[in-house]
Amino acid sequence: MKIGDKLTGKITGIQPYGAFVELDNQVVGLIHISEIKTGYIANIHELLQLGQEVQVQVVDFDEYTQKASLSMRTLEEEKHRLPRYHRFSNAHHKYGFAPLAKQLPIWIEESLTFLKERQ
C-alpha cells in the first residue's frame, strides 16, 4: 500500500471524529470527518453506516503500525475536476513573444532618443 492508492474497504466503526475502515485483514484506516466530503458535516451517521463499502484514497500510511489515513473527499473532488486540454498552438495572441516583438522597435526608438538627448 502506498500514498495515492484508491481502495475499497468496509466501515467497521464510527466515531464523532471519523470512521474506521478495514481495507484487508491486517490494515485498518481512519477517514477523518474532514476527509469524508467537502463542506460541513453535522452528523457523520447521516453519511456512513457500519458495514458500508466505501471507496477511499490513501493519504498517509504508517508501515510500523499498519494504519492508514484515508480520504473520500479527494475522490469526490477528482470527479468534479474539469479536464484541461493541451493546445499545440497558442490561442491567446497576447502571450508569448509576439507582444515583445511588436514593442521592440518602439523601445529601440525611445532608447536612441534618450541617448541623443544625454549627449
pLDDT at 82 (0 to 100): 58
pLDDT at 4 (0 to 100): 87
Dihedral sign for Cα 41, 78, 62, 20, please: positive
Task: Give, for all 119 residues of the chain, the pLDDT tens digit.
Answer: 788 889 899 999 999 999 999 987 678 899 999 998 888 888 899 989 999 999 999 999 888 888 889 999 888 877 766 566 555 555 555 556 677 788 889 999 999 999 999 88
Q: Are 21 and 29 in contact (CB under 8 A)?
A: yes
- Largest Cα separation within the chain, whole Å, is 87
Closest alpha carbon to 18 in 55, 45, 40, 38:
45
pTM exceeds 0.75 for this model: no
Which superfamily, per CATH, for 6-80?
Answer: Nucleic acid-binding proteins (2.40.50.140)
Cα of 27 vs its chain's centroid, Å: 25
For 18, residues 6+ apart whose C-beta sits below 8 A from its C-beta are 30, 31, 32, 33, 35, 36, 44
Closest alpha carbon to 31 in 64, 58, 2:
58
Domain boundaries, the chain: 6-80
DSSP string, 41-75: -S-GGGT--TT-EEEEEEEEEETTTTEEEEESHHH
